Structure 1
Amino acid sequence: MHIRSLVRLLTLIAVLLSASFLPAARADDADTTPAPYAKFTAGAQSQTGLFTLWRKNGKVYVELSTAQLGKDFVQSAAPANGLGGWGIVWGEDMFAQTRLIRFTRQDNKIVISWPNTFFKAPEGSARARSVQLSFSPSVVAVTPIVAEDSATGKIIFDGAPFLTDVLNMTAVLKAALGTTDPAQTYKLDTDRTYFGPTKAFPENVIIESDETFEADAGNTTVDTVPDSRSIQLRIMYNIAQPPDDKDYMPRLYDARLGFVASPYLKYGDDRKVDQNANYIVRWNMQPSDPTKPISPAKHPMIFWLSNTIPDEYRPTVRDALLTWNKAFEKVGISQAVQVRDQPDDPNWDPDDIRYNVVRWVTEAYPSFGAEAQWVYDPRTGELFHTGILLDAVEGYGTPASWEYYVTATRSTLRRGLLAPQSYAMGKFAENAFGRVALTLMDRMDAQTQHQYTLDSIRSTVLHESGHDMGFQHNFIAAIAYSAKNLQSMHFTQSQGVATSVMHYAPINLWPRHDGQGTYWQTVLGPYDYYAIRWGYARIPGARTPEDEVPTLNRWAGDWSKPDYMFASDEDVSWANGHAVDPRVEWFNLTNDTLGWCGTQLGMTQSLMHVVDQRWPQPGHAYEQERNAYGWLLVHYLRCDDIALHFIGGEYLSRAHKGDPGASLPLQPVPRSQEQRAFALLNQYLFSESAWHYRPSLLNSLVYTEEAPIWG
């Protein structure tokens, strides 16, 4: 190489290297001055509501008034579509908790943050200043102000942060699908993510982000999409005006009653050892005229029945919702719950937060059964939006294939959702078991089957609408009633099969020679009336939440009475070592759980021996027999699991010292009960005779091979 050429080459390299180390132009260096309002909005499409939303060149922008800057709003989020199973369901709002959201101005940018509502102190006090400095909010995003009206102060900011994975669906999908292989793990593809429909209503706005999640090698678990390498989830962000009810007073939480709590720590009195001051989550249900013994609700809870609910089930859903009026009338409030049909009006929209909608969802893999929906103000616990999702499985009851139970092992989240103890799979399995058992008992004619379905739907709607009242589950609600009670149609039609609709009650089914009550929980139980009184009854003279405490404490003192006992999810997940009380269970009945289990095991075992006498029907595959046997087996194994809980267990009391009938908080399960439990396990699980079935029956339990077009 010539020296001159070498010099030119070295000079070129030096220029390129120096250029590569020049500082990159920062976004801050560009002109970030907001454009004039009129100029920016020219040609843009607007939607006017709580906020004005602007759409321009495929982007979404949000307009705020000066009064809305720095103000707290309530944000919730849910998918607007599902995957046809795996717990990814449209309208499911449990993926993200209800939060406050705040928009503050910082120079020519908007800071979107979630304020911290978990710590409080008296406003204006030194403690309040300390709390503000001690705890941090969460910043969601910082986004530029693109336009400003100099006359009014209105600003418009870029809505691009809503195109990110704010809901953290990446983690949800990983858990739902049980993904461990990085090549099959879904992650957000921003290049294939864009804004979907936006809506603006007087009290809320909807911003939909149509998000594409990709997995390099696809995910073979997902067989409900054309190509598992790419799935789209339409995430619907809902930002609402919090209630401004001057007449609402929060009510303090008590662990002896089953209300959901909006938690926070209150720093205001150093003499208190416990700084917890949780408010219960509830609707603002008050009598319009408290001077009268009973008067219409001032703020009724109005449910709207979606046009997706099949016509044959609408009267049952309506009647179940209206049942709650019986409890509210006892505390002086009439017409507390009202039900209306979705109007045939193109301008009516179920996404308008003013409407509490009951919807019907269809899935390929039933994964949730039903789900209550609500939005509340985290500062006070006040519910101001409710609703219910009902899975279509509630209608057809029995699955097309035993696969729905077996393939639950394919996914971590499905193992939870479809475990026999979960409400989704538990109610599903009990429904199927009842149909099989009643058919084998010759008690399932066409009329019985229709009423069976309606009563099952009714029990589910009562349960989910109980959540809409603010109720937690109550898994000790089975222990007040005897077997004789549950074998009485008269008793169960008035009192139910458990003391609360918030129990996961199994089918109430007894052998042929016993009496038979209602199959499902179709009425409110005594605990439900008790809880409505505790959570909603007006306490005359009380001006602050603290003023109510003496009366509420006295009412809650009835915990030790079997009709009013309460225990929830934390007391039933006993595999974690915390929940030690065997009285607290899913899908159990009677005040003698072991006696009930003995009856169920004996009855189910006898039915399993004769299942081939009914199935398969002529001309059908042997999978019919396999499915029927499988649902009997699920019910059978449930009671083996319940009996195991008694061995080494302890009874746990939530009663306070001095409450009527209060016992020590922990008392060992009597040895006689442990021995009864082991005897059941020995007879129906460990013994050779427990699993002695005819070879001809076992050799018939085969499934049908399929060759699906997809996956």
Structure 2
Amino acid sequence: MRLLLLFSVCLLPLVLPAQSDEKKATPSIADKTEKMEQQEGFFTYYWSDEEGKVYLEIDRWDEDFLYVNSLAAGLGSNDIGLDRNQLGDTRVVFFRRVGPKVMLQQRNLDYRAVSDNPAEAESVEEAFAQSVLEGFKVVAKTDDRALIDITDLLLSDAHGVAARLKRGKEGTYKVDANRSAVYPENTKNFPKNTEFEATITFTGEPTGRNVRSVTPNSESFTLRMHHSFVELPDDDYEPRAYDPRSGYYARGYADYATPIDQPLTKRFITRHRLQKKDPSAAMSEPVEPITYYLDRGAPEPVRTALLEGARWWNQAYEAAGYTNAFRVAVLPEDADPLDVRYNVINWVHRSTRGWSYGSSVTDPRTGEIIKGHVLLGSLRVRQDFLIAQGMIEAYGEDGTTPDPRLEELAIARLRQLSAHEVGHTLGLAHNFAASTNDRASVMDYPAPYVTLTDGGEMDFSEAYATGIGEWDKRTIMYGYTDFADGTDEAQALQEILTENEEMGLRYISDSDARPQGSSQPQGHLWDNGSDPVAEMDRLLNLRSVALENFSEKNIPVGMPLSELESVLVPVYLMHRYQVEAVAKMIGGYEYDYGVRIAGEKPAYPPTDPDRQRAAREALLRTVAPETLVIPKRLASLIPPPAMGYDRNRELFNTQNGGGLDPMAMAQSAADNSLAFLLHPERLARVVEQRAMYGSVLPSLKEYLDEVQGAISRAIRDNFRSDYRSEIAEMVERRLVHHLIGLAANKEISEAVSAEALSQAVRYRQPNESLTGMTAHELYLSQLVSSFLANPDNYEPTEVPDLPDGSPIGQ
């Protein structure tokens, strides 16, 4: 019985394993895609609704194209910076096939050899790494065509969301494939571009507050990512040479085929392609105009303001010899704002106010702008409305209808903002010196120029300039003039730049305007006028009037009185950015972006000594008690936040545990001014200028003596006023903390540290006199003594930060 059973088992038929997938013949593309939806275009692709997958057909190997990734639906947090319709990276890539694999490879265009010798070009290409962005398996093929599944690429974190959240300490997130899918509605094909989109769900553990503030569930949120495959432009575009005086952004690469007597790096500007139909004509229609489209989501009156502001640029193109070269319309209903064929002005919502941006898709090979792309934050207009709201009785006697001047100012700013950000997408950089040239450029950051009438009333009529500026016309001439045949283009461009100088047009951009310790006295953000000191005095006077007139009528009836503090903040800090403008005159140098010109001897001297002294005195006025106090009635007018209205970062940080804190307000404002007065790089230049230019300029000791003297006099002059006396002593305490901080800083000029220490030691008193000191004097003496006894343990007292600043609009 047992033997029979064994024999029976042995007689069972032998079942062989099925043939593996690897050994199956690769199907044809037609067979594989028989039941799929085909979309022909730049790259033919197929949509498998059954699988939820996208298959891409490749018939061009080693042929370059652009790969652009974008964020179609954003997170809504300005602090994180993942906005709707935000552009990501632009790369020149190509598909390469190796047996059953297909590689998506990015070229390294930062290092090249522009040479007729192929071996020379190849040697540079092999010397620097390229990047394989993604690998695919061939799933079907017909002749030299191959089909790949690109779904994994579309569902990847191509925009770098998880990395950004990790850097921002918002949490550790990853893509959840089970909750991510292709977004067929925005996956489309066109002759010169193929567009894909996907909904991507991120899961993880939040560790910051920003993700929580804008998501329904911070452990799982969904965005949409967009991928564009774009045909590269033809070779008819001619790059234009970059000059640091031109006002443009520069693109460049290292050309290893360059003769050794020439610069290795080749630089050219970024700009749109624009050609005249008749280059010999003084004025001509373009072959094809530059057209921008406005987001359909922008409401009125915002829509009209954005259209008007963007259209200002046609004035600049007319100055460059074009008729109707720049046009702006509303985006057609069937158009996708991320479609590379459209230059778009996007109206973007966030939970808090923030920056607006002008970016572009640019051909890295030449600098040609293919797509201009503007993101305008929708809450900026409310901030400008708020600035105006604090300057006048915004809601008057009836308390319900706002003064029309508030909206007029806010809308005027929107026009300027639209023009500014579009300017970036035309290739233009910031010009932060334009305010010194009677507002010669929309590429500056303008402060609202509000004035007082002879009767002491606020006048908003000149708050923002209207129309394109003279500098903007000149920059467009440099970048876009289509010179007639036979013109020496290099010479013609130099003539434009020479004329700019003869016209007195100044140009200073970000690197020389933004740093707190910058030495360029003409490059400022959020300022007006050619004389920073005069503008400071004007602003302080305007601020004084606004504070004196501030009342419950600055908010509408029915709003909690605690909300008056939100309106008060920009009024109290009206001079905030002018502090920085004035400070740049101290230790300043009068320089520009000049180049060597035969026969000319450049000279960039220090800022005039008298102007430097005037700047120091102006800054000291900002820490004087009469500037830092607020009318006492305001303290009793504004209660702590009402139920349902919390304190936020737009308000002053407090130390009194309640609502409005006049002392903390004064401390924050004073410390801001002292930080500019005593910036270590600025003080190093004071030392440097005295050493190099002699006694016409003050020594650092003399400079600090003047600062200390003015602050000490304020204590003596205000001893009869408890409020002002307390503020004067607070300012002196902050001064000593700054001096000790300079003395303890091992990374700054030793000359600055030494003099700061010498100045701080003055506040130390002998032990036998301690009993006769005031609390203020005792505090300073012990502060300095403790530092001298153990410098490494010194920790400055925390000062309440100022409320959020830029982009406040002022």
TM-score exceeds 0.5: yes
Compared with structure 1, are the counterparts of its residues 703 and 561 closer, same or farther at alpha carbon in structure 2 (3 Å cutoff)?
farther
Counterpart of 1:385 in structure 2 is 371
Separation in 2 of the partners of 1:504 and 1:42?
58
Deviations 1:317-373 (A, max 9, x none): 3332332222222222111012333345xx4444432222333222222323x3324
Equivalent position amino acid for 1:243 in 2: P
Counterpart of 2:658 in structure 1 is none
Equivalent position amino acid for 2:101 in 1: K
Compared with structure 1, are the counterparts of its residues 45 and 459 closer, same or farther at alpha carbon in structure 2 (3 Å cutoff)?
same
Q: Contact (CA 8 Å) 1:431, 1:507: kept in 2 or not?
A: no
Which one of 314, 317, 321 corresponds to residue 306 of structure 2?
A: 317
Separation in 2 of the partners of 1:467 and 1:358?
12
Q: Please tell me whether residue 690 in structure 1 is matched to residue 627 in structure 2.
A: yes
Give SS of 1:295's match. Answer: coil
Unmatched runs of 5 consecutive residues or more in structure 2: 1-19, 647-810
Give SS of 2:344's match. Answer: strand
Counterpart of 1:537 in structure 2 is 481
CA shift at 1:384, angstroms?
Answer: 1.9
- The 5-angstrom pairing of residues 651-670 of structure 1 reads 651-658=590-597, 663-664=602-603, 666-670=604-608
CA shift at 1:499, angstroms?
Answer: 0.8
CA shift at 1:77, angstroms?
Answer: 1.9
CA shift at 1:32, angstroms?
Answer: 8.4
Counterpart of 2:447 in structure 1 is 506
Which one of 195, 218, 222 corresponds to residue 228 of structure 1?
A: 218
Counterpart of 2:30 in structure 1 is 38
Give SS of 1:302's match. Answer: strand
Separation in 2 of the partners of 1:258 and 1:476?
11
Larger radius of gyration: 2
- The 5-angstrom pairing of residues 464-543 of structure 1 reads 464-481=421-438, 498-513=439-454, 518-541=462-485
Equivalent position amino acid for 1:70 in 2: D
Deviations 1:609-647 (A, max 9, x none): 432353455543123310111121332322223323332
Equivalent position amino acid for 1:333 in 2: Y
Q: Contact (CA 8 Å) 1:62, 1:159: kept in 2 or not?
A: yes
CA shift at 1:393, angstroms?
Answer: 2.4
Separation in 2 of the partners of 1:659 and 1:390?
44
CA shift at 1:49, angstroms?
Answer: 2.0
Q: Please tell me whether residue 90 in structure 1 is matched to residue 84 in structure 2.
A: yes
Counterpart of 2:175 in structure 1 is 188
Equivalent position amino acid for 2:351 in 1: A
**With structure 2 as the length reference, what TM-score do the two structures score?**
0.70
Counterpart of 1:260 in structure 2 is 249
The structure showing larger relative contact order (alpha-carbon pairs under 8 Å, at least 6 residues apart) is: 1
Counterpart of 1:554 in structure 2 is 495
Separation in 1 of the partners of 2:558 and 2:303?
36
Counterpart of 1:437 in structure 2 is 391
CA shift at 1:281, angstroms?
Answer: 0.8
Q: Please tell me whether residue 241 in structure 1 is matched to residue 231 in structure 2.
A: yes
Give SS of 1:614's match. Answer: helix
Q: Please tell me whether residue 145 in structure 1 is matched to residue 138 in structure 2.
A: yes
Q: How many residues align?
A: 613
Separation in 2 of the partners of 1:689 and 1:109?
75
Give SS of 2:528's match. Answer: coil
- The 5-angstrom pairing of residues 265-304 of structure 1 reads 265-304=254-293
Unmatched runs of 5 consecutive residues or more in structure 1: 1-27, 399-427, 482-497
Counterpart of 1:342 in structure 2 is 331
Deviations 1:638-657 (A, max 9, x none): 22233233322323221123
- The 5-angstrom pairing of residues 71-150 of structure 1 reads 71-86=63-78, 87-93=81-87, 96-125=88-117, 126-150=119-143
Compared with structure 1, are the counterparts of its residues 76 and 633 closer, same or farther at alpha carbon in structure 2 (3 Å cutoff)?
farther
Compared with structure 1, are the counterparts of its residues 279 and 447 closer, same or farther at alpha carbon in structure 2 (3 Å cutoff)?
same
Q: Please tell me whether residue 60 in structure 1 is matched to residue 60 in structure 2.
A: no
Separation in 2 of the partners of 1:340 and 1:41?
40
Deviations 1:105-147 (A, max 9, x none): 1211111122111122224424312211211212111111211
Separation in 2 of the partners of 1:323 and 1:640?
32
Equivalent position amino acid for 2:448 in 1: I
Separation in 2 of the partners of 1:524 and 1:463?
9
What is the RMSD computed on CA atoms of the aligned residues?
2.9
Counterpart of 1:451 in structure 2 is 408
Counterpart of 1:24 in structure 2 is none
Q: Contact (CA 8 Å) 2:395, 2:553: kept in 1 or not?
A: no
Compared with structure 1, are the counterparts of its residues 31 and 232 closer, same or farther at alpha carbon in structure 2 (3 Å cutoff)?
farther
Counterpart of 2:523 in structure 1 is 584
Counterpart of 2:297 in structure 1 is 308
Compared with structure 1, are the counterparts of its residues 548 and 234 closer, same or farther at alpha carbon in structure 2 (3 Å cutoff)?
same
CA shift at 1:207, angstroms?
Answer: 1.9
Equivalent position amino acid for 1:318 in 2: L
Equivalent position amino acid for 1:468 in 2: T
CA shift at 1:697, angstroms?
Answer: 1.4
**With structure 1 as the length reference, what TM-score do the two structures score?**
0.80
Deviations 1:10-51 (A, max 9, x none): xxxxxxxxxxxxxxxxxx994586432122102122322211
Deviations 1:254-281 (A, max 9, x none): 1111112222112223233421212211
Q: Contact (CA 8 Å) 1:477, 1:563: kept in 2 or not?
A: no
Give SS of 2:183's match. Answer: strand
Give SS of 2:287's match. Answer: coil
Give aligned-pair identity as a percent: 23
Which one of 194, 202, 214 corresponds to residue 203 of structure 2?
A: 214
Q: Contact (CA 8 Å) 1:558, 1:659: kept in 2 or not?
A: no
CA shift at 1:103, angstroms?
Answer: 1.4
Separation in 2 of the partners of 1:707 and 1:325?
46
